[in-house]
Structure 1
Amino acid sequence: MAIPKNGLVIGAITVAVALLATYLVPFTDILLEKAAQLGLTVPDAFQPPPAVYDTGRDIKYIGSLSNEVEHFQNIFYAEEPTGARRFAPPVPVRPPKGTVIDATHPGAWCPQGTGDILPFTSRVSNISENCLSLRIARPTGLKDERLPVVVWLHGGGHALGSASEILYNPDGLVKEAVVAGQPLIYVGINYRLGYFGFATSEAMIENKQTNAGLRDQRAALEWVRDNIEAFGGDPNRVTAIGQSVGASDIGLHLTSFGGTKGVPFQQAIMMSGAPGLNFNSDPALVADNTANVAKEVGCDTNDAQSLETLECLRRIPFETLTNISVTASRAARPPFGEGFFYPTIDGDILPARSSELLRAGKFVQNVPIIASWVTNDGAWYAAPPTSTDEEVLGSFGLWLSKLSDSTNEKLLELYPAADFEHMAGNGPISPQYYRAAQLNRDIWFTCPVLDFTWQYVQKGGVDASKVWLYEHNATRYGPSFEMMGVPMWRVAHLSDIPYVMNNDNLGGGADNSPEQMELARLVSRRVIGFAHDGQPGEEWPAAFSGAGEEWSESPGRLSIQVFGGPVPGAVTVSKDAKDAKHATVAQQAVLWEKLFERCEFINSAQMRAEAGV
């Protein structure tokens, strides 16, 4: 076929511009601007790497360009936490003037178990203690903008995860923000995990060297506050987004130091998590786990709580400490070791139980919040063969080992097996499995989210018009779960992440269909709008509007935005039984969850006391 002369000319100009842009760096901006004027596209490979100049500190960052997004990775916000710095609070990095930082490649993941996790997640291989870094993604062509910033705190049960996890690829979110006319800057952070992040002892508490992972998160957010302007970000418009324990940690930051030291962010999105029944925050259990690992690695001094033991632990090779602590964690809390090392009360960053701090009004105020849960968040916490009442209680008994017989009986009464028969149908899975899954969802996710947001509003944290709730009822992992042999997981934990991130090319057999991508665009735009304007959308009502002025322990009215499922949209439900008689299909779907009575008990003083939260 003949090629038009115009095509040859345009092709020649494109190549010429690309070569000039590569070799004549001082004139790159002019050349690329001219190419744009001519309607030419210069391939990423021919464009010079993006660079950021922090003129105030005389630091240059060299990044990479991919998929029309500029990436700056492995930027350290704290010094390497080794030797005397192991377990200690992070020490901020102070690069000397004239430093050129190579931010072109991902950094190491913090110490954790290696290998494959799920079909659609990254394989963990490159781990190191020198991991206190962050990644930044931004749209191309920025000049002197001051864009809102979203900072991602990953989940993983304080045992797994990294800012470099493929699930958290920010390209789709950054590009969708540009399309929406509301561009933003994305930041993902690494923080210490497991033994390195949450070990505790009397010596650690006395020396304020506890909860290192939480302190890392705060230090990273402070780095964003102090440095993001050089990248085009606005340090006064930072939205912290956390998923699972990342969401719970945001709640802990809001109650940190009893609310006396503020937080380095202005808004928050808490996905599938909030401080609540999640874990007993008393340090005794984690201190015992810390001491047992110390003994295993040869630091069995006369007193496991002593400074001598702590100093010994700092001399152990990180590989040895990682292998033994991960093995112990996974043996006690299979399969990933969650709930073995986690945030605990230390009289400093966590001065008391979060539920008590909330009810005492000891928290940072004026932080608008979007909080959420996933329809089947508890699916993988229950074993598929579950078929008896005892097995239902056992599905969370490992974590909540001190619940009284009367509490367990009340939980079974609130979740009758008959409520879940329609989910099982005539299949091989018992209604008891779905019963256990719903109990786990509410205990770990839904009820803590409701309790945290309600108490925050009721005790004067923020006006009721500044808190929103959503339930996510769609998944792109369905084919992956089928392949794994767990189709009963349905809309399981993690399902909302690719919608928030607007990921268009999930791996592991996930669903990348146009229908799913349309929903992803919708969800991501709600996040983008909130980051920009502090509003997720006019059609999304505030969670507790009309819930009552009285200072009660739980709300009597809820407004929830539902994403996906057969009846998506905004739903308002009431505790009033008379309203239920005239409920719409959407309201009936939410009322079936019995959030009022179930969460009222799960968040009660009785259950909180027995759970140790």
Structure 2
Amino acid sequence: MANRLFASMVAVLLAIIAIYYQELLDTFHPTPNLKVVDSARDITYLGSLSFAGIEHFQNIFYAEAPTGPRRFAAPVPTRPVKGSVIDATRAGAWCPQGTGDILPFTSSVTNISENCLSLRIARPPGTRKDAKLPVAVWIHGGGHALGSASDILYEPDGLVKLAAADGLPLVYVGINYRLGLFGFATSEALIERKDTNAGLRDQRAALEWVRDNIESFGGDPKRVTVVGQSVGASDIGLQLTAFGGDQDVPFQQAVMMSGGPGLNFNSQPDLVASNTAAISQQVGCGGGKDLQTLECLRGIPFEQLTNLSVTASRAARPPFGEAYFYPTIDDDFIQDRPSQLTRARKFTKGIPIIASWVTNDGAWYALPTTATDHEVLGSFGLWLHKLSESTKEKLLHLYPLDDFEHMVKSEHEGQISPQYYRAAQINRDIWFTCPVLDFTWQYVKNGGVGASQVRLYEFNQTRYTPVFDSMGVSMWGVAHLSDIPYLFYNDHLRAGADNSDPQLALARDFSRIIIQFVHGDPKGGGDRLQSWPPAFSNEPSKSSTGDVPSHISVRLFGGPHGSESATCSDSTTETDMEVMTYAEKALHWEKLFSRCAFLNGQQFREEAGV
């Protein structure tokens, strides 16, 4: 009995020590001598050192507080007075959004404010001002409804530390931008004043701040790679097609993780304008489209607007409120449907791209109880509400139920229907895989970059398996967000996630490839990038069947058979299948050519409004 009691006490003590240690990992402490001086502007930034030894500068404002007359308006760049000393030792507020917990491995949202247009910078210790290091800029996801660069999910220390250890140091920048109603409200008055899509304009302003100021932090403004996930990736595509491609973008490369601009459904402004007017009516400003209504909204307390808009968004688009306030055509920043802009060659050229999806990207868009054709179609019906009956029938035909029966695990027998996996796969392809394939293919095909400058990957591993098990959603598998901790080489994921050596080994491999891409330099592990074949043929005009290429090459990361590259063709025969590798068979099973040919075809694109 005494031994058991002692063992229990030891276990409790170890748990307390573990919690304390975790808090230390997340602690930043001001360092008197850690400062950056922008001598040209006579501005001093005070930084802090993380427990991992990485230098951080946080809550640096790139735009004035978007309050009062600046609410629902394009960002106004900050102009600190000469001699300013900016305290950048602590994280700033998140942009207005719903508060509370989101997922077990993400931060709880507690501190929100309109004065949120800030960025965070992380760099290796001792970085000199003249270091000229390449820069990786992170645009977070969250469905334009939630998120922040300060979320623990995006902790950059592992990435920065690994890059420096490999002799390929970089500067990391994460940006906050307006979300929800505050970032994407629209009306005739806003369109006339060119104040729409404020969240996208925030991103552009932050990238311009990096271009103009990052040199003081040891970064090279001519070697900036923008990295985004989910709508962060989609927004990179919208930045490339912004203003009809008539303006250069303030970055030189892009990594688009699980997202292309094609997931910007229903891009005409009608729906978002109606949602904006509904909130306006609730606060007593009327539902008008004129300047008077806009001025009234600018006088309402942000807490009231946040509560009402978040409640309305989540009620209409549960659970997070995605696709209630989002980017729309405004004849300025977004001049047409994104798929039309790429086909019309209205994009900024010369940007090498890595783009991707994860194996079960659509897993959480379908209810685990999905068991009928009607429920399969309903899994995306809230977002795609203009699909014709013929389109719905075609989707069911392209994704026959027989294809998914083998996916039901023995422990789920009798509980999970193959219809769930069918719905998850359709959602994955609609939201992520086919938009990614469409954007990158059209970008190459229409002269954006040479075929050798675009690569694709599919991620087939997750560190969240124990977390999903504890949440009761083990069927999610390699769900959306799964590749993020591998990118950031986070070795202490929370909530019981898998921090085992094999997972960290894969994280090192994947993170190193992205670091290599950011550097754009074949030294120090360049073979990893060089051995990754381009996504498309060198002669795209001869390798097309309508809206999809005739063959693609994809790098598969993780999975039971390890990482390898695979090439798949639309003319694959049964004989070809016999000599295929595991990765090639897996890619062939996804039927991307026939499915994306329809999802990227004119009929579906018009009905989806992408």
Alignment of 1:588-607 (within 5 A): 588-607=585-604
**1:465 pairs with 452, 457, 460, which one?**
452
> Which residue pairs with 2:564 in the alignment?
569
* Deviation (angstroms), 1:125: 0.5
> Which residue pairs with 1:28 in the alignment?
none
* Deviation (angstroms), 1:48: 3.7
> Which residue pairs with 2:467 in the alignment?
480
* Deviation (angstroms), 1:612: 1.4
**Do the aligned partners of 1:500 and 1:520 also contact (CA within 8 Å) in 2?**
yes
CA distance in 2, matches of 1:610, 1:589: 30
SS state at 2:262 partner: coil
Identity %: 68
Provide Cα deviations, 1:174-208, integer angstroms capped at 9, x if missing partner.
Answer: 00001111000000000000000000001110111
> Which residue pairs with 1:51 in the alignment?
35
Q: Under a length normalisation based on structure 2, what TM-score does the superposition of the two structures give? A: 0.92
CA distance in 2, matches of 1:353, 1:549: 23
**Do the aligned partners of 1:383 and 1:395 also contact (CA within 8 Å) in 2?**
yes
**Do the aligned partners of 1:548 and 1:556 also contact (CA within 8 Å) in 2?**
no
- The 1:173–1:247 alpha-carbon spacing in structure 2 relative to 1, beyond 3 Å, is same
* Deviation (angstroms), 1:574: 1.0
CA distance in 2, matches of 1:305, 1:314: 14
> Which residue pairs with 2:209 in the alignment?
223
**Do the aligned partners of 1:80 and 1:131 also contact (CA within 8 Å) in 2?**
yes
Provide Cα deviations, 1:236-293, integer angstroms capped at 9, x if missing partner.
Answer: 0000000000000000000000000110000000000001144111000000000001
Do structure 1's residue 112 and structure 2's residue 97 form an aligned pair? yes
Do structure 1's residue 515 and structure 2's residue 502 form an aligned pair? yes
SS state at 1:215 partner: helix
- The 1:122–1:44 alpha-carbon spacing in structure 2 relative to 1, beyond 3 Å, is closer
Provide Cα deviations, 1:205-250, integer angstroms capped at 9, x if missing partner.
Answer: 0111100000000000000000000000000000000000000000
Do structure 1's residue 404 and structure 2's residue 388 form an aligned pair? yes
- The 1:534–1:356 alpha-carbon spacing in structure 2 relative to 1, beyond 3 Å, is farther
> Which residue pairs with 1:71 in the alignment?
56
Provide Cα deviations, 1:386-409, integer angstroms capped at 9, x if missing partner.
Answer: 000000000001111111111111
Alignment of 1:109-258 (within 5 A): 109-143=94-128, 144-258=130-244
**Do the aligned partners of 2:93 and 2:116 also contact (CA within 8 Å) in 1?**
yes
Structure 1: 5+ residue runs without aligned partners?
A: 1-42
SS state at 2:261 partner: coil
Q: How many pairs were matched up?
A: 569
**Worse-superposed segment, 586-595 or 116-125:** 586-595
Provide Cα deviations, 1:124-173, integer angstroms capped at 9, x if missing partner.
Answer: 01000000000000001122200000000000000000010000000000
> Which residue pairs with 2:531 in the alignment?
539
**Do the aligned partners of 2:451 and 2:536 also contact (CA within 8 Å) in 1?**
yes
**Do the aligned partners of 2:149 and 2:174 also contact (CA within 8 Å) in 1?**
yes
> Which residue pairs with 1:5 in the alignment?
none
**Do the aligned partners of 1:199 and 1:287 also contact (CA within 8 Å) in 2?**
yes
> Which residue pairs with 1:375 in the alignment?
359
- The 1:367–1:548 alpha-carbon spacing in structure 2 relative to 1, beyond 3 Å, is closer
**Do the aligned partners of 2:30 and 2:48 also contact (CA within 8 Å) in 1?**
no
- The 1:189–1:46 alpha-carbon spacing in structure 2 relative to 1, beyond 3 Å, is closer
**Do the aligned partners of 1:270 and 1:369 also contact (CA within 8 Å) in 2?**
yes
CA distance in 2, matches of 1:59, 1:46: 18
* Deviation (angstroms), 1:482: 0.6
CA distance in 1, matches of 2:357, 2:248: 26
Provide Cα deviations, 1:356-376, integer angstroms capped at 9, x if missing partner.
Answer: 110000100000000000100
* Deviation (angstroms), 1:508: 1.0
Q: Under a length normalisation based on structure 1, what TM-score does the superposition of the two structures give? A: 0.91
**Do the aligned partners of 2:29 and 2:48 also contact (CA within 8 Å) in 1?**
no
SS state at 2:380 partner: helix
Do structure 1's residue 93 and structure 2's residue 101 form an aligned pair? no
**2:431 pairs with 420, 423, 444, which one?**
444
The amino acid that maps onto 1:571 is A
> Which residue pairs with 2:8 in the alignment?
none
Do structure 1's residue 553 and structure 2's residue 547 form an aligned pair? yes
**Do the aligned partners of 1:277 and 1:611 also contact (CA within 8 Å) in 2?**
no
- The 1:111–1:49 alpha-carbon spacing in structure 2 relative to 1, beyond 3 Å, is farther
CA distance in 1, matches of 2:538, 2:60: 46
**Do the aligned partners of 1:81 and 1:130 also contact (CA within 8 Å) in 2?**
yes
**Do the aligned partners of 1:251 and 1:275 also contact (CA within 8 Å) in 2?**
yes
SS state at 2:81 partner: coil
Structure 2: 5+ residue runs without aligned partners?
A: 1-26, 523-527
- The 1:419–1:289 alpha-carbon spacing in structure 2 relative to 1, beyond 3 Å, is same
* Deviation (angstroms), 1:307: 1.0
CA distance in 1, matches of 2:341, 2:551: 24
The amino acid that maps onto 1:573 is C
> Which residue pairs with 2:7 in the alignment?
none
The amino acid that maps onto 2:530 is E
The amino acid that maps onto 2:262 is G
CA distance in 2, matches of 1:56, 1:473: 47
* Deviation (angstroms), 1:46: 9.9
**Do the aligned partners of 2:59 and 2:92 also contact (CA within 8 Å) in 1?**
yes
SS state at 1:400 partner: coil
**Worse-superposed segment, 270-279 or 309-318:** 270-279
SS state at 1:519 partner: helix
SS state at 1:451 partner: helix
**Do the aligned partners of 2:451 and 2:538 also contact (CA within 8 Å) in 1?**
no
Provide Cα deviations, 1:464-516, integer angstroms capped at 9, x if missing partner.
Answer: 00000000011011111011110000100000000001011111111111111
CA distance in 2, matches of 1:213, 1:278: 14
CA distance in 1, matches of 2:28, 2:361: 39
- The 1:359–1:46 alpha-carbon spacing in structure 2 relative to 1, beyond 3 Å, is closer
Do structure 1's residue 390 and structure 2's residue 374 form an aligned pair? yes
Provide Cα deviations, 1:537-596, integer angstroms capped at 9, x if missing partner.
Answer: 111110003574336421011110011002321111111133345322221111000011
CA distance in 2, matches of 1:278, 1:262: 22
> Which residue pairs with 1:307 in the alignment?
291
- The 1:606–1:47 alpha-carbon spacing in structure 2 relative to 1, beyond 3 Å, is closer
Provide Cα deviations, 1:9-63, integer angstroms capped at 9, x if missing partner.
Answer: xxxxxxxxxxxxxxxxxxxxxxxxxxxxxxxxxx997964511010111100000
Provide Cα deviations, 1:521-550, integer angstroms capped at 9, x if missing partner.
Answer: 111101100000167611111000357433
- The 1:44–1:328 alpha-carbon spacing in structure 2 relative to 1, beyond 3 Å, is closer
- The 1:274–1:44 alpha-carbon spacing in structure 2 relative to 1, beyond 3 Å, is closer
- The 1:401–1:47 alpha-carbon spacing in structure 2 relative to 1, beyond 3 Å, is closer
- The 1:547–1:511 alpha-carbon spacing in structure 2 relative to 1, beyond 3 Å, is farther
The amino acid that maps onto 2:86 is I
The amino acid that maps onto 1:202 is E
**Do the aligned partners of 1:277 and 1:608 also contact (CA within 8 Å) in 2?**
no
RMSD: 1.4
The amino acid that maps onto 2:597 is E
**Do the aligned partners of 1:142 and 1:232 also contact (CA within 8 Å) in 2?**
yes
**1:365 pairs with 344, 349, 352, which one?**
349
> Which residue pairs with 1:585 in the alignment?
582
Moved over 4 A (4+): 43-47
* Deviation (angstroms), 1:68: 1.2
